[in-house]
Structure 1
Amino acid sequence: MRVNRRTVLRGVGVAMSLPWLESLPVWGDDSVTGEQRSEHPRRFAALFMGNGINAEHWWAKGAGDQMELSRSLEPLAPLKSKINVINGLFNKEATGVGIHPGQTGNILSGAPLQKGAVLRGGISLDQVLALRFNDDTPQSSLVLGCEQPITGYHETNFSMAYSSHISWHDANSPVPMEVYPSLAFDSLFDNQGSKRTKSILDRVKDHASHLSRRISHSDQVKLTEYLSSVREVEKQVEKVRSVKNQAEAAAKNAARQMNLMKRPENGLPEDIRDHMRLMCDIIALAFQTDKTRVATLLLCRDLSGLFYPFLDVRLAHHPASHDDLSDAYERVSRYYVSQLAYLASRLEAMPEGNGTVLDHSCLMFISNMWSGSQHDSSKVPLLLAGGLGGTIATGRVLDYGHQDDQHRKLCSLYLSLLNYAGVEASQFGDADAPLKNF
């Protein structure tokens, strides 16, 4: 058994790990050393935005709390000491192959992609980590999206599946992406059939009451806050579940496929802000409850059709990216960075041992190209938040743009992250060495 100050609340058909409770006695094998007793789960999440950013407003200077952030990175200001801004890395197999799908399908694998009807790429970083943590959590990974996949072929003869999926089981199979928040939530807490009509907290309340009598006052406060956060997400999910159920019935009566319908007719939240925020909440809850330690969130796919009326942007995402140096697209870039900031802030607010859940995690924000107008993938925008259990120094601006190609490989970063997360690997994608000075 894991030896630490985490415990599990159990109820009718549900079990969820609790946050770190200092007043609980350490339980298990007495021979375990103090260092092992204090080990916290290490977690990884990747957030993806298609079609690049506004390069004029994508920079950072300095270090730690004194770091100066550009306009697009400003949402991360409260977390300066816990982020890394990394410039100049590139994915070699996404260059010189044509635009869009060939620049996207291997963003987390670095594998060469095959054109035509047969999909062929490589296992993605998140799924390698999922295999590593498979025996430690009920669910190996969360693979989420805020936009439906597209089918067919691009003019470059690459399948559109490469534009729609960043997580891959193996060379031939993308991991099915869940775009409905209610289904993502249900998968975490085994909400099937009649269980959906009963709150998770009602199912575990007897165990929670028993535990509350055994812990300190400060841990009681922490437990109450934790259960309240679970309930808050649950209430949001209940709202979107009812919308999805209505859309499902309407589609069935009209003999239409929901994935071919536009929101909100397809049951997805009409306001993309609500959709993205809820998906981030679900990842945060999954990490806090230790339901999974690996997640990917495709905020918008390559060739995205999302609209942003709340940003006063008239064009859809993909056409807007063709004017990527405009003020309008800068607002889009900043909005997506704010999603990383929101998730990181959620994890930072969760105490765990002497740190926070963010301290024991690594969140990565990445896009498939630097410039949407030029379809330039010679380098990619990349941000990290969290220290992955103290293995990653934070509060830095790292620039690899002046290095030769051999020393600025995106997959070298991935190899470093694998090793820091406890995966012994000597090669990943096109990299056979970790990223220097990282």
Structure 2
Amino acid sequence: MSPVPAEMHPALAFDSLFENQGNRTHLSVLDLVTDQLKHVAGKVSHLDRARIDEYTTSVREVEQRLSRMQTQDREEQSPTQGTWQRPPAGVPSRLDEHVRLMLDIVALAFQADRTRIATLLLTNNLSGQVYPFLGLKVDHHNYSHNWDGQEFAKITRFWVEQYSSLLQKLDSMQEGDGTVLDHSCIMLANEQWTAHSAPKIPLLMAGGLNGALTTGRSLDYEHAKERRMSSLLLTVMDRMGVIMPEFGNSKVQLPEL
């Protein structure tokens, strides 16, 4: 089984989600389903029509933000770089907006049930990313050597806030007898380390997987016999109904989860 290729560009991720390709990329994806939306709207309840309107509004908002980002990046592009292509050849220059767009696309994918599995690598401690919008002038990697300093804490807080914004968006999306968040498991891992060692990895998990996971707890596995990350993932897969005898280097699920 081959891994799914990583996608760094919001526009391409959006196109992939809605199969918006070729000469259709200049259109709104909603233009392609206008007749179907009108047909469905005439047959469903008022509540379902409101949900359809909520979803299509979210789709259009993401499209408009992508368009604004591409326009601004095109204006900033040097004339020597050649003809502008959609999407941008490089990573968008505004990190905070780039991340929020990617998170919103993940939320749209979950809401539309296009997929319920998504991985988003936000950053890592070896990253050369800088954060001028946080008032920081040195790169991420240098700050990570002083992992308990104020600068690294500011970076960590920024990423946790992005995680929180995704949770809030998913929690606002009604789905069945709950919300999309209620039926999901959203995990944030932070490779907080010292001296190039990672004996402890703080994790946040939100969403109850439709009651399969108990939330509102703090669990400490520092001295537990079974504390592998692969054990955690094996347990989450089991709660999702994917039964596997082993995963990675683990055959044992994480206790108490």
1 or 2, which has the higher strand percentage? 1
Partner of 1:197: helix, strand, or coil?
coil
Does residue 271 of the first structure (1) align with residue 100 of the second (2)? no
1:203 match: 32
Which residue matches 2:192? 370
Q: Give the root-mean-square deviation of aligned CA atoms.
A: 2.3
1:232 aligns with 2:57: no
User: Taking structure 1 as the reference length, what is the TM-score of the superposition?
Assistant: 0.54
Contact 1:244 1:268 in 2 (8 A): no
Change (3 A) 1:386 1:266: same
CA distance in 2, matches of 1:190, 1:245: 24
**What is the one-letter code of the residue matched to 2:121?**
L
Amino acid at match of 2:192: W
Aligned with 2:241 (options 409, 419, 422): 422
Q: How does 1:319-358 map to 2 (within 5 A)?
A: 319-358=142-181
So what's the TM-score if we normalise by structure 2?
0.90
Letter in 2 for 1:434: Q
Pair 1:248–1:302, CA change in 2 (3 A): farther
**1:203 positional shift:** 1.4
Q: Percent identity?
A: 42
Q: 2:51 aligns with which of 217, 222, 225?
A: 222
8 Å contact from structure 1 (residues 361, 387) kept in 2: yes
Deviation at 1:267, TM superposition (A): 3.8
Partners in 2 of 1:225 and 1:423 — Cα distance? 31
Which is richer in helix? 2
Q: Distance in 2 between matches of 1:437 and 1:287?
A: 27
Q: Are the equivalent residues in 1 in contact too, given 2:125–2:140 (CA < 8 A)?
A: no
Once the two structures are TM-superposed, the CA of residue 243 in structure 1 deviates from its matched residue by 5.6
Is 1:299 matched up with 2:119?
Answer: no
SS across alignment from 1:393: coil
Structure 1 unaligned residues grouped into runs of 5+: 1-130, 132-168, 259-264
- SS state at 2:25 partner: helix
Report the alpha carbon displacement of residue 345 of structure 1 after superposing the two structures with TM.
0.9
- Structure 2 gaps of 5+ residues are none
Please tell me the residue identity of whatever aligns with 1:436: P
Cα distance between partner residues in 1 of 2:95 and 2:69: 12
Counterpart amino acid of 1:381? P
Taking the aligned partners of 1:313 and 1:245, their CA distance within structure 2 comes to 26
- 1:189 matched to which residue of 2? 18
Contact map agreement 1:416 1:435 (CA 8 A) in 2: yes
User: 2:78 & 2:185 partners in 1: Cα distance?
Assistant: 36
Separation in structure 2 between the aligned mates of residue 331 and residue 381 of structure 1, nearest angstrom: 16
CA contact (8 A) 2:73 2:93 kept: no
Amino acid at match of 2:212: T
Structure 1 337/329 Cα, relative in aligned 2: closer, same or farther at 3 Å? Answer: same
SS of the residue aligned with 1:183? helix
